[in-house]
């Protein structure tokens, strides 16, 4: 198979962790006889600096030509003074998600039994580790509803974000959650705020009907977002598939990541309905965390989330399951062997980004 990847490293630690992930991609494919062709394009702050906009036309075109996008992370203090709609996050990542209709964001939160010490949760609360996955709706809700800021007659100022969801949007993401749950423990927790929000009332109705009619083998629990945030800390192991709307998923997935050791460990796949040249889903793969400007350029960032994003890409956009597993096993083994970046070293001896990458490659 010949894979064509658009690589968008982005800003701050983005290029540093990408420099670790690309050799891992090349190594695993070489071993199994596949070929890969990748090209690197500026996005986010880098796009602004080089081409005057966060998503340069040439970058978007390269993404169109590719089978999948491997994304780093964007944004940071350097561009914070720009008008909000020109800022790296809003002007690159969100349009990319919208353009390629990447409505399903899959974020695995896996804490293996022999890595429990990397979690901030007391070990006795998670004797078996944690294995959950967040299915976050990614192209609707507050992120994409109508927005405005305007002065009021009395001199006050009013800002509006709108949360909009349609039945069809909820159904298609529910189908992703069902498919995910079928490959796991067959349990979905829908997180919403149905005691307050109209959109949540619709979510509950649509999700429960969808499961009742198309997936009676799946059990459904519902939980308010405030309770879910608490339950995640109290008893994270109760969760299998967490299904939720865009904003709640943004917040909960960070919480899930840190429960599983560190934000530097959580990869994510953003999938849509487009099919690539290989007949598989077109997707964008990125770490769930941000650009970490405070540690950028110091060889301190944890590259695991970026490396694990490569595994998700091979699995979802190319169907290369054993290659994906090989990468996941190499990361797991590296950490189990005690090779860790500072964020997961628990105050113990830590290695840098590049050394972590070498250690993963060595175990691949
Ligand atoms: C994420 C990020 C993005 C989001 C930002 C960078 C716009 O936090 O992927 O979770 O809010 O979706
Ligand atoms: Mg986020």
Expressed in angstroms and rounded, the spacing between residue 349 Cα and the centre of ligand 1 is: 31
Contact at 8 Å (CB) between 237 and 126? yes
* Structure confidence by residue, pLDDT tens digits, 74-99: 999 999 999 999 999 999 999 999 99
Q: Is 36 helix (H, G, I), strand (E, B) or coil?
A: strand
Domain boundaries, the chain: 1-104+264-364, 120-139+166-259
* Structure confidence by residue, pLDDT tens digits, 289-317: 899 999 999 999 999 999 999 999 999 99
pLDDT of residue 219: 98
Measured between alpha carbons, how far is 43 from 104 in angstroms, rounded to an integer? 21
Ligand 1 in reach of 93 Cβ (< 6 A): yes
Ligand 1 in reach of 59 Cβ (< 6 A): no
Hey, do 1-104+264-364 and 120-139+166-259 end up sharing a CATH topology, with the first three levels equal?
A: no
- Is residue 254 part of the annotated active site? The answer reads yes
Ligand 1 in reach of 250 Cβ (< 6 A): yes
Which ligand lies nearest to the CA atom of residue 107 in the structure? 1
Judge whether residue 342 has pLDDT over 90.
Answer: yes
User: Domain 1-104+264-364 adopts which CATH fold?
Assistant: Isopropylmalate Dehydrogenase (3.40.718)
Catalytic residue among 250, 285, 300, 343, which? Answer: 250
* Structure confidence by residue, pLDDT tens digits, 21-30: 999 999 999 9
Ligand 1 in reach of 43 Cβ (< 6 A): no
Measured between alpha carbons, how far is 171 from 273 in angstroms, rounded to an integer? 13
Average pLDDT over residues 127-152: 97
pLDDT of residue 347: 87
Only one residue has tokens 């797991």, namely 332
% of the chain surpassing 70 pLDDT: 100
Ligand 1 in reach of 288 Cβ (< 6 A): yes
Q: Tell which one of 90, 249, 250 to mutate to probe ligand 1, the residue whose CB is within 8 A of the most ligand atoms.
A: 250
pLDDT of residue 317: 97
CATH 3.40.50 fits 120-139+166-259, yes or no: yes
Q: Across the beta sheet with 187-192, what order do the strands follow? A: 35-40, 2-10, 68-73, 281-287, 267-275, 104-111, 130-137, 241-244, 187-192, 219-224
Average pLDDT over residues 34-44: 98
Contact at 8 Å (CB) between 199 and 162? no
Only one residue has tokens 């996941």, namely 328
Expressed in angstroms and rounded, the spacing between residue 270 Cα and the centre of ligand 2 is: 13
Is the pTM higher than 0.75? yes
Confidence of residue 112 (pLDDT cuts 50, 70, 90): confident
Catalytic residue among 78, 98, 193, 333, which? Answer: 193
pLDDT of residue 94: 96
User: Which residues fall within 8 angstroms of residue 216, CB to CB, at 6 or more apart?
Assistant: none
């Amino acid at each position: 198979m010949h894979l064509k990847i658009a690589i968008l490293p982005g800003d701050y630690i983005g290029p540093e962790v990408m420099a670790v992930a690309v050799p891992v991609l090349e190594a695993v494919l070489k071993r199994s006889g596949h070929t890969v062709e990748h090209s690197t394009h500026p996005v986010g702050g880098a796009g602004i600096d080089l081409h005057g906009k966060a998503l340069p036309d040439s970058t978007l075109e390269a993404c169109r030509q590719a089978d999948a996008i491997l994304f780093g992370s964007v944004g940071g203090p350097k561009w914070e003074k720009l008008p909000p709609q020109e800022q790296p996050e809003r002007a690159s990542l969100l349009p990319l998600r919208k353009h390629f209709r990447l409505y399903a964001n899959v974020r695995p939160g896996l804490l293996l039994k022999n890595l429990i010490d990397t979690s901030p949760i007391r070990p006795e609360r998670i004797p078996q580790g944690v294995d959950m996955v967040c299915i976050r709706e990614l192209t609707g809700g507050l992120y994409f509803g109508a927005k405005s800021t305007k002065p009021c007659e009395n001199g006050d100022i009013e800002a509006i974000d709108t949360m909009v969801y349609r039945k069809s949007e909820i159904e298609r993401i529910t189908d992703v959650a069902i498919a995910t749950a079928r490959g796991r423990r067959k349990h979905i927790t829908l997180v919403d705020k149905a005691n307050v929000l109209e959109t949540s009332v619709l979510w509950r109705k649509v999700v429960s009907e969808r499961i009742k009619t198309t997936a009676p083998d799946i059990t459904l629990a519902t939980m308010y977002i405030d309770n879910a945030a608490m339950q995640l800390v109290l008893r994270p192991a109760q969760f299998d598939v967490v299904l939720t709307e865009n904003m709640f998923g943004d917040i909960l997935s960070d919480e899930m990541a840190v429960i599983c050791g560190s934000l530097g460990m959580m990869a994510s796949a953003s999938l849509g309905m487009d099919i690539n040249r290989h007949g598989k889903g077109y997707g964008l793969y990125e770490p769930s965390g941000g650009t970490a400007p405070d540690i950028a350029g110091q060889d301190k960032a944890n590259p695991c989330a970026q490396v694990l994003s490569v595994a998700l890409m091979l699995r979802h956009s190319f169907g290369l399951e054993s290659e994906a597993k090989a990468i996941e096993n190499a990361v797991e083994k590296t950490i189990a062997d005690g090779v860790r970046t500072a964020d997961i070293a628990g105050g113990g001896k830590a290695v840098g980004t590049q050394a972590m990458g070498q250690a993963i490659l060595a175990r691949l």
